[in-house]
Structure 1
């Protein structure tokens, strides 16, 4: 699956300062099921869909990296945003940014927190979006579950049925989470298209031709995981890993 360019912020509200280093506590990822004001609540945060998705993501990620992501041990939060689906979709390439702005206004701005948001609304641009610090600051990685563009219908993408085997929605969310953590950095040798790699269509962070078919995380350790480089961010040093690695680093500008 080819992905369009990342969202960019245009709505003019200041982003939060990078004050997380002054906060106390671990870096965590919190799961949110978000609805537009007029959206149908399919109760994905309550019926086990997102919980199974999280379990499958963690199992696959651990098999690839030897670590787990620091998802908060808490129920999935559900929030209804104060704008209609059409109004949010009208943001075009900036749906993710609008979701972040609206959710912040409803209290989703805890320090040292990345929000994984399953937005049960539409987009005419893509099936998801992430921040990409430092170029694009933000704390929300989002899937647009009702998105549709070109010949892609995002609602047809599957969730893990059993919490073990990942489907495309698990890979999509991991992809956007890693973007929001700052990957792939511009200094990576195969960096392309604002936060992706272009050399391996099986890489979780790939974009280009042929279509995306995710199954591995930086398998040759050249771009963003166990690269041995200290001049660019490395997933192996991320503060969002459990167990916490030595010399753990937050995302840029956090």
Structure 2
């Protein structure tokens, strides 16, 4: 059996001789040894993924616009209604520095209840809103500051109350705005937001024992109907100032010769031909007022 040397046991010198014999080694020159390393250009800037979205104005504007659009689409305004008033609120407006007695509050509530009950007997419909619990509000103005005419006083009081758009204010105030007793005394002033009754102008004194037809209950009714839209200029018996002239017993009749409710019953649109339940095409009818309960 022939023997052969195992290559694994070959010496390191035998394995390296051939490689060393064919190798070529070159030493760097002195100039090459002193040559500086080349300066490489800086790498291109990398996208900074750490930059936040809020540092970019255009995406921020788009995001804000989208958020506002979503809010506008989902928002349902519950405190800023856009339609006409649809319920009555009873308010007692007290000038700054004045007090109101609890009996006065109860008496005003009683007079307002007489008014709404009479309207219900005349129409078979109730008005929308609870007038049995008046809200007492102290104004930011004194009685002296509100003196000088009902138009100015009305505007200042309604601005001070700042009622919701869907509320029609029936505002009762002990104020006297007139500066003289001569001439016609304006008991109430109205507008889209509500009516203000100036008790001091007409010496209306509320009472808890009064009956329908009392000066204050009649005035409250008269002004509520004004708030509903009575009487339009196109009414056959309209006077172009919100009243009628065909029946002295009509609650919307205005004049010194109107009937005494104690002896003659009052009527709501006598003949039903001017402002409630009429057939005048194109002429407003308060039967459509949202202040009625359907």
**TM-score, L = length of structure 2:** 0.63
Per-residue CA shift, 1:111-153, capped at 9, x if unaligned? 321000011211214221112xxxxxx3121111112xxxxxx
Say if 2:234 is the partner of 1:234. no
Distance 1:202 1:169 in 2: 16
Choose the corresponding residue for 2:197, options 143, 155, 159: 143
Distance 2:167 2:281 in 1: 24
Partner of 1:43: 102
Partner of 1:161: 208
TM-aligned CA distance change 1:112 to 1:230, over 3 Å: farther
Partner of 1:68: 126
Distance 1:43 1:89 in 2: 25
Partner of 1:224: 275
- Is residue 159–residue 166 contact of structure 1 (8 Å, CA) maintained in 2? no
**TM-score, L = length of structure 1:** 0.72
TM-aligned CA distance change 1:99 to 1:44, over 3 Å: farther
Distance 1:74 1:57 in 2: 11
The answer to which structure, 1 or 2, has the higher relative contact order (CA under 8 A, 6+ apart) is 1
- Cα shift at 1:159: 3.3
Say if 2:154 is the partner of 1:96. yes
- Cα shift at 1:95: 2.2
Distance 1:217 1:239 in 2: 18
Choose the corresponding residue for 1:126, options 186, 195, 209: 186
Distance 2:142 2:250 in 1: 35
Choose the corresponding residue for 2:169, options 110, 115, 118: 115
Q: Which moved more, 1:36-45 or 1:201-210?
A: 36-45
RMSD between aligned residues: 2.5
In the TM superposition, 1:133-212 aligns within 5 A as 138-147=192-201, 154-155=202-203, 157-159=204-206, 161-162=208-209, 165-208=212-255, 210-211=257-258
- Quick check: which has more Rg, 1 or 2? 2
Per-residue CA shift, 1:45-68, capped at 9, x if unaligned? 64x212211221122111111111
- Is residue 160–residue 170 contact of structure 1 (8 Å, CA) maintained in 2? no
Contiguous gaps of at least 5 residues in structure 2: 1-79, 179-184
Distance 1:36 1:190 in 2: 38
Query: Which contiguous aligned blocks of 4+ residues in structure 1 show a shift greater than 4 angstroms?
Result: none
Count matched residues. 205
Say if 2:145 is the partner of 1:82. no
TM-aligned CA distance change 1:218 to 1:74, over 3 Å: closer
Partner of 2:114: 56
Distance 1:204 1:33 in 2: 23
Say if 2:89 is the partner of 1:30. yes
Structure with the largest fraction of strand? 1
